[in-house]
Amino acid sequence: MRPYKELSKEELVLLKEELEKKFEEEKSKGLKLDMSRGKQTTSQLDMTMSIMDVLDSDSVLKTEDGLDCRNYGLMDGIPEAKKLLGDIMGVPAENVLVYGNSSLSIMYDAVSHSVTHGVMGSTPWCKLDQVKFLCPVPGYDRHFKVTEYFGIEMIPIPMTPAGPDMDLVEEYVNNDPTVKGIWCVPKYSNPQGISYSDETVRRFANLKPAAEDFRIYWDNAYAVHHLYEDKQDEILEILSECEKAGNPDLVFEFCSTSKISFAGGGIAGMASSVANLKSIREGMTVRTIGYDKVNQLRHVKYFKDLNGVLAHMKRHAEILRPKFEAVLDVLDREIDGLGIADWTRPVGGYFISFDAMEGCAKEIVAKCKEAGVVLTGAGATYPYGKDPKDSNIRIAPTFPTPEEMAAATDLFVLCVKLVSVKKLLGEMSE
């Protein structure tokens, strides 16, 4: 295939007519497919249904230490659940708090408490003239919504194949006391599927923040979400690296089982230093008397240990892998070599990141929607929903079937080609 930029104006006009005809044919099919969010498909949810059978009315709902999970107590989680989530994150159980069902809620609470009460005795952010957060881009839209909600200024930090641009991170963190945090998805990042290199993790651990209340918000959402058995990324464990660097309090780490068991029906946790957890528990005593310990016990009895989780995740991978490969096969076949886009090839996580020609993403997403395929809104992977290049599109292959994914990707690449040709013709007319 010849790159589109090598085609003459006449060739591009003919190609545009051909693509517009194909688009109308596709639109007439009445597709209704959703690639907008990283949702589990029905077969993944069905696979986990037996978790509902591990407890019944005859079950002894007590921890190994004999505490009744139906009653008050153990506000910060049952020991067995702390160990399970700790093993998923690679940290000791004593560094873990277990909450309800959502890690995003924990992150929201951490930011909210910092705004209203400060971090470990520091000035509450609401009393400061300016508060900033660093935001690796492209990144997770829900992270950005949290900081935007509290009126925190967000600073985009470009991602590299090894993680965030650490030269920029160090420049901001080490010199600007108004920088209070950074959002991170360190393993199989959302949306690119990048895992931070050992050097990147060590540089994070060795930051020398100008602000005493600076924290790294380490959202380890995809810690065990591999797609392949023979190609698996591993990252350094951040808490121990911070300890080695003399920065034990630098990190808030988060995880959940939302994409392991059930979205909205799992368990979520936070890991940090002993000092951070002591301060956080003080706020927890006001917020709650305790979370759902019965559900924590249910998860422990179902998965038993980390090996049980990993075996379960292999079954998830068997369902997800063909979907990712279906998308990548179509992209390779239809677009590779045309010089109009680049995309990632993740070996884990839930997304593929696609970069179209500059100024094309919004129109591509709109054309797909017109023909029945819903994508994440263009710009969502940047703070304030503003992608300065209007090029990044997040593809979520998980919910449709592989056959539906192939059909949706066929339409997607058709829209990419059509919008790209229009852009090139427009540039020729300028």
DSSP line for 80-133: HHHHHHHHHHTS-GGGEEE-SS-HHHHHHHHHHHHHHH-STTSPPGGGSS--EE
125's CB contacts (< 8 A; 6+ apart) are 114, 115, 118, 131, 150, 152, 180
pTM of the model: 0.96
Alpha helix ranges (H) inside 289-384: 293-303, 306-334, 361-370
State the amino acid at position 16 in one-letter form.
K
Q: Which of 224, 228, 214 is nearest to 255 (CA)?
A: 224
Q: In what order do the strands lie in the sheet with 215-219?
A: 96-98, 268-271, 251-256, 215-219, 179-184, 132-137, 153-160, 163-164
Alpha helix ranges (H) inside 128-273: 141-149, 166-175, 198-205, 238-244
pLDDT above 90 covers a percentage of the chain that reads: 93
Average pLDDT over residues 230-255: 98
pLDDT for 141-177, tens place per residue? 999 999 999 999 999 999 999 999 999 999 999 999 9
Contact between 140 and 147 (Cβ < 8 Å): no
The Cα 60–Cα 85 span in angstroms is: 22
The Cα 201–Cα 84 span in angstroms is: 23
395's CB contacts (< 8 A; 6+ apart) are 35, 191, 327, 343, 351, 352, 353, 354, 375, 412
Contact between 80 and 228 (Cβ < 8 Å): no
Both tokens assigned to 225:
């979400």
4-44+311-429 CATH: 3.90.1150.10
pLDDT for 308-337, tens place per residue? 999 999 999 999 999 999 999 999 999 999
Q: Which of 254, 271, 232 is nearest to 96 (CA)?
A: 271
pLDDT for 338-367, tens place per residue? 999 999 999 999 999 999 999 999 999 999
Residue 404 pLDDT class (50, 70, 90 cuts): confident
Burial class of 274 by CB neighbour count within 10 A (0 to 12, 13 to 18, 19+):
exposed
pLDDT for 291-312, tens place per residue? 999 999 999 999 999 999 999 9
pLDDT above 70 covers a percentage of the chain that reads: 100
Q: Which of 366, 365, 373 is nearest to 406 (CA)?
A: 373
Choose the weakest-confidence range: 68-72, 204-208, 318-322, 404-408: 404-408
129's CB contacts (< 8 A; 6+ apart) are none
Asked whether the predicted pLDDT for residue 1 surpasses 80, the reply is no
Q: Where are the domains of the chain?
A: 4-44+311-429, 63-304
Asked whether the predicted pLDDT for residue 401 surpasses 90, the reply is no
Contact between 57 and 275 (Cβ < 8 Å): no
Residue 29 pLDDT class (50, 70, 90 cuts): confident
Concatenate the DSSP letters of all residues of 37-54 into one string.
S-PPPHHHHHHTGGGGGS
Residue 430 pLDDT class (50, 70, 90 cuts): low
- Please give the distance of CA 305 from its chain centroid, rounded to a whole number: 24
Report DSSP state, residue 388: T
- Please give the distance of CA 171 from its chain centroid, rounded to a whole number: 25
Q: Which CATH architecture has domain 63-304?
A: 3-Layer(aba) Sandwich (3.40)
Both tokens assigned to 279:
């301060």
The Cα 239–Cα 247 span in angstroms is: 9
